[in-house]
Amino acid sequence: MYLKYKLNNGITVVMEEMPYMQSASIGILINNGSVNEKKEINGVSHFIEHMLFKGTDKRSAKEISETIDNIGGQLNAFTDKEYTCFYSKVLSCHISIAIDVLSDMMINSKFLEEDMEREKKVISEEINMYLDSPEDAVYDLLYETIYKDTPLSLSVLGTEDSLNSLSREGIVDYYHKYYNPENMVISVAGNIKSKEIIKILEEKFGGMTNEKKGQAHLIQEPLNFNDIKGMVKKTEQLNFCIGMEGVSRESDDTYPLLILNTALGGSSSSILFQKIREEEGLAYTVYSTPFFHRNTGIFSIYAGLNSNNILEFAKIIKKEIKNIKDNSISSDDLLKLKEQLKGSYILGLESTLSRMMELGKSQLLFEKVITSEDVIKKIDKVTLEDIKRVSENIFDFRKYDIAYVGEISKKEKIESELKNILFI
């Protein structure tokens, strides 16, 4: 059972008491990510994430880490396209310490000039590390291709140029614009007593004010299709990604798409895994993934494979997709897929950290708590007609893009043949 509360300054708090657990997790989720950025300041949200660990009026950077390390806890953060999260997981008896550290970071961070210059070097290395991971880089390319010239095309990390152009004044101004009570949700789950937690949160976060107000941008719909974008890079495998228009996270088609994804490439028993890997031996890694955003989405198929096999791979993909569109799935398969999806979802919630994230993201992104019971009901309601409709809409060959990282011999010829296979 969850509880929802608003602090006096407007911060929304969602909580779940889990008395059978020995831990507690807290997350501070902010309605801000790279979609709020312009090209010139791309990466500022991620940069702020780093800066909040660099020291406050009360603690040095080392003391922030030590305070949580000394109680055997975890302290971390991440920045996404649409939101940022700072979180901690500790033994339940130490939850007040985690709240104190996170509130100190959120309210009292110094943003010192010398720390910023040093952190630019650190993030520069993070960008290089990211580029050395072709599976990550290919998804950035896919977003650049589909969401061309829109904020959603921007990398979360930013670029070397945008990073170096960030000024202290611009960073602090951006922070005060978006990191405020109206854009924030605090989520807590674990062996806690809600009344005690509210009292501590009011004490620690009550001083935050809405100095400025910046609302998250409305994400534009995909603008660019039937295009190929590649990054030539010496790799052992070609990292290949097919992207198509998906659905938004608030769409009625979200759950039919999740079931369709489970069938196509969401597990080791899926169509693509069995066909591409087990039967044909064309790839070690192959999977499909939906990405949901505020009013848009992507459905993608990824594989790491030898570039010599790319045309054969594309032909199989088209054949299997056409087969799903023409024949859909059986009623027996639909029941199995529902159980598979429900089991995966429920098992993923068996920690205080995952439960905290589920509550927090739900409140932040949907402005309401969607319970596990709600999710199960939505999965159970999916019909074969829903699957048929969604497969017809998603698997539209007029709305495909391709991104790849690696090396292709006879690049122009291969790209032309890929277009003939997948874009028609």
Catalytic positions are 49
- The alpha carbon of residue 80 and the mean position of all alpha carbons in its chain are separated, in whole angstroms, by 5
Give the single-character DSSP code of 42.
Answer: T
User: CB–CB of 172/112 below 8 Å?
Assistant: no
Strands 400-406 and 227-232: parallel
Please give the backbone phi and psi of residue 269, each rounded to the nearest 5 degrees, phi first: -100, 5
Q: Is 37 helix (H, G, I), strand (E, B) or coil?
A: coil
Number of other CB atoms surrounding residue 159 within 10 Å? 15
Q: Is 126 helix (H, G, I), strand (E, B) or coil?
A: helix
User: CB–CB of 243/146 below 8 Å?
Assistant: yes
Q: What angle do CA 101, 83, 22 make, to 5 degrees?
A: 45
- Taken in order 247, 253, 255, 256, the sign of the CA dihedral is negative
Give kind and range of the element (H or E) at residue 197. Answer: helix 194-205
Task: Mention every residue, 6+ apart, whose C-beta is less than 8 A from residue 274.
Answer: none
- Give the pair of three-digit tokens for residue 410: 């006879």
What residue has token string 């033994």?
91
- From edge to edge, which strands make up the β-sheet containing 12-17? 2-6, 12-17, 184-190, 23-30, 84-91, 74-79
User: CB–CB of 44/10 below 8 Å?
Assistant: no
User: CB–CB of 179/47 below 8 Å?
Assistant: no
The Cα 320–Cα 3 span in angstroms is 45
Give the single-character DSSP code of 60.
Answer: B
